[in-house]
Amino acid sequence: AQSVSQHNHHVILSEAASLELGCNYSYGGTVNLFWYVQYPGQHLQLLLKYFSGDPLVKGIKGFEAEFIKSKFSFNLRKPSVQWSDTAEYFCAVNPNTDKLIFGTGTRLQVFP
């Protein structure tokens, strides 16, 4: 079945550690890719998006993601996390329709 997978359900890091969150999707053809963040008690915010062009996408707050078409992946990275990055992170895919299909989310906890 078509789906979006986030294999890391809960990640715990110390400040300054590097972060990589995995996202894989199973849709064929052209897709648009997104990473959203949900800070505690707040609404979903867009971190970054990929539509076309350079597969390495830079977003807000020092986040970046790389689209690897051959691996159907769009992993999120940050070289040095901060306590304020503690949040829920969602990968989402738009398979050329109006719909956004979300992954199950990854809860990131960063300890000072």
Partner 1 sequence: GAVVSQHPSRVICKSGTSVKIECRSLDFQATTMFWYRQFPKQSLMLMATSNEGSKATYEQGVEKDKFLINHASLTLSTLTVTSAHPEDSSFYICSARDGGPSYEQYFGPGTRLTVT
Which residues would be at the binding site for partner 1 (CB under 8 A)?
A: 32, 34, 36, 42-46, 49, 51, 90, 94, 98-105, 107
Q: How far from the centroid of its chain's Cα atoms is residue 35's Cα?
A: 4
Provide, rounded to whole angstroms, the least separation between the CB of residue 13 and partner 1. Answer: 19
- Whole-angstrom distance, CA of residue 28 vs CA of residue 46: 24
Backbone angles phi, psi at 50, to 5 degrees: -130, 125
Provide, rounded to whole angstroms, the least separation between the CB of residue 82 and partner 1. Answer: 23
Nearer to partner 1, 69 or 99 (CB): 99
Provide, rounded to whole angstroms, the least separation between the CB of residue 43 and partner 1. Answer: 4
Nearer to partner 1, 14 or 30 (CB): 30
> Which two tokens mark 6?
């986030």
- Bridge partners for 49 per DSSP: 34
Closest CA to 72 of 39, 31, 14: 31
Nearer to partner 1, 82 or 109 (CB): 109
